[in-house]
Structure 1
Amino acid sequence: MTSAGTVLVTGATATTGSRTAARLVAAGHRVRAAGRRGAALPGAQPVRFDWYDPATHDAALTGTDRVHLVPPVGDPDPAAVMLPFLERARALGVRRAVLLSSSAVPAGGPAVGQVHQVLPSLFDEWAVLRPSWFMQNFTGAHLHATTIRATGTFATATGDGRVAYVDADDIAAVALHALTDTDAPNTDLVLTGPEALTHDDVATILTEVTGRPVTHHRLTVAEVRHRLTESAGIPPQFAALLADMDHAIAEGAENRTTDTVHRLTGHPPNDLRTAMARETGRGL
């Protein structure tokens, strides 16, 4: 790994952004932790940053040579704000950009897929992290986690479809390498856990780990869309995108595993039991 330069981490208080910033600091790299009020993370320089306020962009970018991009949450068209930012980043001397996307969204696909498609034309050094769904969706503030805590249930329209959930700690470990290895990946990296599970399997594992019954309820795509809009307050366009992803899972789109975590970090990805046992101490 190289130790030169400064890394700007957007979304530095988010699930993967906070973990990535912490790993960068621990490895001895200079880090700017970006958030709307600055992100107070040990060892990092807090910097105020808002995707929707271009007046915050130059100060965050000046003196930065690498940037970790966590897209604005819930925006169905993040390219509208991200692409002008990335053009400005290149003009100010950023040489490497690592984008957090999704295994469900290819280059040129909806939402962040539009940013993925353009990224290689903006930077000679780049990577797109395309993780499967996060194991941390069952902890913290995610809708699945909050309904599990409140009712012992969670609901999807995935049917018998399988997902190789990935630990956010493993995503951050890959991000560290993508940002700091001497040679940039210059490709997209699909990140998964070690096994593809149905959501009934997930419920069984959560029951075993927590000692509390957890049940997976099966909904239709329309029911999921309504639930996300009415109960979670998610904008209809983005709720429809998420519901359609459930349908894609039901059709087998996420039934795969990759060796990317092991290949880039040297350690196998954590399984769901391991991650949930660790996260239980954080308030599952």
Structure 2
Amino acid sequence: MRILITGGTGNTGRPLAAALRARGADIRVASRNPGNAADHVRFDWADPATHGPALEGVEVAYLVPPPATLEPMPLVEPFLAAASGVRRVVLLGSLAVLPGAPGIVELERAVQRMPESSILRPSGFMQNFLGAHPVATGIRERGEIVSASGPGRLGWIDAEDIAAVAAEVLTGPDPAPEHVLTGPESLSYADAAAVITEVTGRPVRHTEVSVAERARIFGEVMPQPFARALAAIDAEIRAGTEDRTTSAVEDLTGRPPRSFRDFVAAHMA
């Protein structure tokens, strides 16, 4: 059984590939900039010519949608049309519902029409506090986390825990239609700032802004329509729509999800 991992060098793709290799699985790691490993292949949503080679011999696929777009189907539809040999698709979705994005719902429905499918719905990624994400940039440059979510909480999850669940769903028996994935606790941005301050010894504060200002900040690193939709989620977080935790990670992997405190300690550098 060959497993295709789209987004294979991303936050969930990298640990998923490692987990599946450890099981001896036959994998194909697809990304726009593939490595030199024999199981890597070039794949670009915007280039349908790369879809067929990536799908050759594939029976199971992990599907990470095209990034920063509210209309993924024009890019994904050619891929699904070429995926006649694929019997199972596991889609990386989101617990947050982007407003004004019927294309994302259309993508989910297209995946649900596959012979076997499952949608993973994780809460906010802990990896947002690392790398080039605006949250991480604010922490490094100003000791500040900016949001429009007020005291609203969400069940932050480590992408490695999402990958561990994906490995089980890709290789296990008939998958459940969806899995809501969270970390072990629900935290606001102010809570997260307090944890980072305590663990690292570097003061980090939370600053409240308007949804419009949050959209402007996101718009510096992503297309404006997607930035506005992403900023609007902060209002939903403020209203409590993501203040929840589930036992799904432990139920599926046999171990509890990583706490935010442990994540910060592991990534202090």
- With the shorter chain as reference, the TM-score category is over 0.9
CA distance in 2, matches of 1:110, 1:250: 23
Distance change >3 Å, CA 25–CA 112, structure 1 → 2: farther
Specify which of 134, 137, 151 is matched with residue 143 of structure 1: 134
Instruction: Specify the SS of the correspondent of 1:66.
Output: strand
1:221-232 aligned at under 5 Å gives the runs 221-229=211-219, 232=220
1:36 corresponds to which residue?
32
Partner of 2:94: 102
175, 184, 188: which one aligns with 1:194: 184
For 1:21, which of 5, 17, 22 is the aligned residue?
A: 17
Question: May I ask how many residue pairs the two structures share in their alignment?
Answer: 268
Map of 2:158 onto structure 1: 167
Equivalent residue number for residue 261 of structure 1: 249
Residue 218 of structure 1 is matched in structure 2 by: 208
After superposition, the C-alpha distances for 1:182-229 in whole angstroms (9 at most, x for unaligned) are x13231111001111111100000111211111111111011112222
2:124 counterpart residue number: 133
Distance 1:224 1:259 in 2: 31
CA–CA distance in structure 2, aligned partners of residues 40 and 164 of structure 1: 36
Q: Which amino acid aligns with 1:25?
A: R
- Normalising by structure 1, we get a TM-score of 0.90
Relative distance call for 1:40 and 1:202 in structure 2 (3 A) is farther
Superposed CA deviations along residues 219-250 of structure 1, whole A, max 9, x for unmatched, are 11011112222xx2321100111011111101
Deviation of 1:40 (Å): 4.4
Shift of 1:144: 0.8
**SS of equivalent residue, structure 2 residue 58:** coil
Instruction: Find the counterpart in structure 2 of residue 81 from structure 1.
Output: 75
**Structure 2 unmatched runs, 5+:** none
- Residue in 2 aligned with 1:116? 108
Matched residue SS, 2:207: strand
Task: Judge conservation of contact 1:127–1:184 (CA < 8 Å) in 2.
Answer: no
For the Cα contact (< 8 Å) 1:75–1:238, is it kept in 2? yes
Distance verdict in 2 for CA 1:40–1:255, change over 3 Å: farther
Q: Could you say which residue in structure 2 is the equivalent of 1:276?
A: 264
Other structure's SS at 2:267 match: helix
- Give the superposition deviation at 1:126: 1.3
**TM-score with structure 2 length normalisation?**
0.95
Letter in 2 for 1:96: R
Name which of 33, 38, 49 aligns with 1:55: 49
Question: One-letter code of the match for 2:82?
Answer: R
CA deviation digits over 1:6-36, x for unaligned, max 9?
A: 1111111111111111111111111111111
The 1:111–1:212 alpha-carbon spacing in structure 2 relative to 1, beyond 3 Å, is farther
Does residue 204 of structure 1 match 2:198? no
What is the distance in 1 between the residues matched to 2:64 and 2:188? 27
Aligned to 1:65: 59
Q: Which amino acid aligns with 1:150?
A: E
The aligned counterpart of 1:152 is 143
TM superposition shift of 1:251? 0.8
SS at 1:216 equivalent? strand
Code of the residue aligned with 2:185 in structure 1: it is E
Q: Is the 8 A contact 2:34 2:42 kept in 1?
A: yes
1:47 aligned counterpart, secondary structure:
strand
Identity of aligned residues (%): 46
Q: CA offset at residue 101 of structure 1?
A: 0.7
Distance of 1:101 and 1:40 partners within structure 2: 29
Q: Note the residue ranges of structure 1 that are not aligned, 5 or more in a row.
A: none
Cα distance in 1 for residues equivalent to 2:201 and 2:174: 43
Task: Tell me, in whole angstroms, the C-alpha distance in 2 between the residues paired with 1:224 and 1:262.
Answer: 34
| Partner in structure 2 of residue 12 of structure 1 | 8
What is the Cα deviation at residue 87 of structure 1?
2.4
* Cα shift at 1:125: 1.5
